[in-house]
Chain A
């Protein structure tokens, strides 16, 4: 009963925060009538692809417990991210499409590099580095005689015999290798989505600033999708790995294992917080644009 409340309270807090963010975004959004038809369409496209991506991400998480292989749940958050990134990639490749008999393009070099700067990219990089570090260390430590998905210590008994104490699940190579493979796929899809975001056509009637903002918003959605899956995976690995290590180690090692468990919970919490951070949005009041920056 008490443990049920312990789980329920953080969930209620997260749901409340999510509702507050959604209401805040809706209230502070720039009204449609102040935007051109193309920008309204751009905003709808962004929201739609983001919702599809969230649904696919959620599907990945929901399928994790129902997976047919014992190791599969460990990769499902990353698989969900990969599916969501695929949806975002398709969204960027299929929109917008220039129409009309007269078309204008501003001659300006765009590069993926401009989207790889900023907080979203740094967060994704740190999360990916943490996951790789966790999996490599877990792979090196997970070495019980029966399974490399467990951690073990050998106790010497008073009679001189040796007894192995093993505990799992532990992120050894049995979990680590599939996760690393899917992580590579996620990073590849993220880079493809960013390249598609860079190369896609400019939204007609969008000035240079607005166009760049729309691209940064798309990039933020891609980074957020990847980071969520990576942090959930790293958080679960750290939590279960720390928990397994605590079962077999005492003393300082046990304290370190407890710290690893708490770091894992922190990662899971950070993943939920990242989902609630909105992508860049059109400013509530239109920014006056110099006449020579208005594309037709």
Chain B
């Protein structure tokens, strides 16, 4: 399976955050596994037609979140394991996203919907 990143240049979310969020999603979903190497900053920046600083900032964000580690002469390597959520929960997430997109929601609105649901559930919110 090919893992890809799609950048919407007209979206309100800045490009570096779009890249960071999508890569984080791939790592959490297990599409990118520990030990996998991310493309060098120059190559990904060229593929997406953005400045190298944009990708470097996205990688720094992933590193700050403990998802990847950058080693000199080796590159940026995935270090975080996939989310402990089982395949059933991941399938439910896919179904939810599919339903939300079918309803005409933009991706940012889908994320807002999830955040709203998290805020409305005080029991698990308190436990986290």
Residues in chain A within 8 A of chain B (CB atoms): 97-110, 198-202, 208, 292-293, 295
A101-B10, A199-B40 known; A107-B5 Cβ under 8 A:
yes
Given contacts A198-B43, A201-B46, A295-B2, are A107 and B32 in contact (CB under 8 A)?
yes
Given contacts A107-B32, A107-B39, contact A101 B49 (CB under 8 A): no
Interface string of B15-40 (1 = CB under 8 A from A): 00000000100100000100001111
* CB within 8 Å for A99 and B49 given contacts A104-B6, A106-B4: yes
Are the C-beta atoms of A200 and B46 separated by less than 8 Å? yes
- Interface contact A104-B4, CB-CB below 8 Å: yes
CB of A107 within 8 A of CB of B10, answer no
Inter-chain contact B2/A293, CB cutoff 8 Å: yes
* Least CB distance, A127 to chain B, in whole angstroms: 29
Q: Is the interface of A mostly helix, strand, loop or mixed?
A: loop
Contact between A199 and B10, CB atoms less than 8 A apart: no
Across the interface, do B38 and A109 meet the contact criterion of CB distance under 8 Å? yes
* B2→A208 contact, CB < 8 A: yes
Could you pull out 5 A-B pairs where Cβ atoms are within 8 angstroms? A99-B49, A101-B8, A104-B6, A105-B4, A292-B2
Flag if B43 contacts A110 (CB, 8 Å).
yes
Q: Given contacts A110-B39, A208-B2, A292-B2, are A105 and B75 in contact (CB under 8 A)?
A: no
Tell me whether B75 and A103 are in contact (CB under 8 A). no
Main secondary structure of the interface of B (DSSP, over half): mixed
Contact across chains for A105 and B2 when beta carbons are under 8 A apart: no
Q: Are A107 and B49 in contact (CB under 8 A)?
A: no
- CB contacts (< 8 Å) of B4 on chain A: these are 104-107, 295
Point out residues on B near A: beta carbons under 8 Å.
Answer: 1-10, 23, 26, 32, 37-40, 42-44, 46-49, 75
Chain A residue at smallest Cβ distance from B49: A98
Q: List chain A residues, Cβ under 8 A from B40.
A: 109-110, 199
Question: Given A97-B49, A98-B49, A292-B1 in contact, is the A107-B38 Cβ separation under 8 Å?
Answer: yes
A180 to B85, CA, bound (A): 61
Q: Say whether B5 contacts A105, CB under 8 Å.
A: yes
Contacts of B2 in A (CB 8 A): 106-108, 208, 292-293, 295
Looking across the interface, which residue of chain A has its beta carbon closest to that of B55? Answer: A105
Which residues of chain A have C-beta atoms less than 8 A from B23's C-beta? 107
Which residues of chain B are within 8 angstroms of A106 by Cβ–Cβ distance?
2-4, 47
Distance to closest chain B CB from A171 (angstroms): 38
- CB pair A103 B42 closer than 8 Å: no
List the 7 shortest-distance A-B pairs measured between CB atoms, nearest first: A98-B49, A105-B47, A201-B46, A109-B37, A107-B3, A199-B42, A101-B9
| Most chain B beta-carbon neighbours within 10 Å: one of A100, A106, A108 | A108
Which residues of chain A are near B49, meaning CB under 8 Å? 97-99, 103, 201
Query: A residues within 8 A CB of B38?
Result: 107, 109
How far is the CB of B9 from the nearest CB of chain A, in Å? 5
CA distance A99 to B43 in the complex (A): 16
In the complex, what's the smallest C-beta–C-beta distance from B71 to chain A, in angstroms? Answer: 14
A207's nearest neighbour on chain B, judged by CB, is: B2
CB < 8 Å neighbour of A103 from B7, B26, B43: B7
Complex interface: chain B residues within 8 A of A110 (CB)? 39-40, 43
Min CB–CB distance A125 → chain B (angstroms)? 23
Does B3 lie within 8 Å of A103, measured CB to CB? no
The one of A101, A102, A201 in contact with B47, judged by C-beta atoms closer than 8 angstroms, is A201
**Are A98 and B47 in contact (CB-based, < 8 A)?**
yes
Say yes or no: A199-B43 contact (C-beta < 8 A), given A98-B48, A107-B26. yes
Residue among A103, A106, A201, A295 with most chain B CB within 10 A: A103
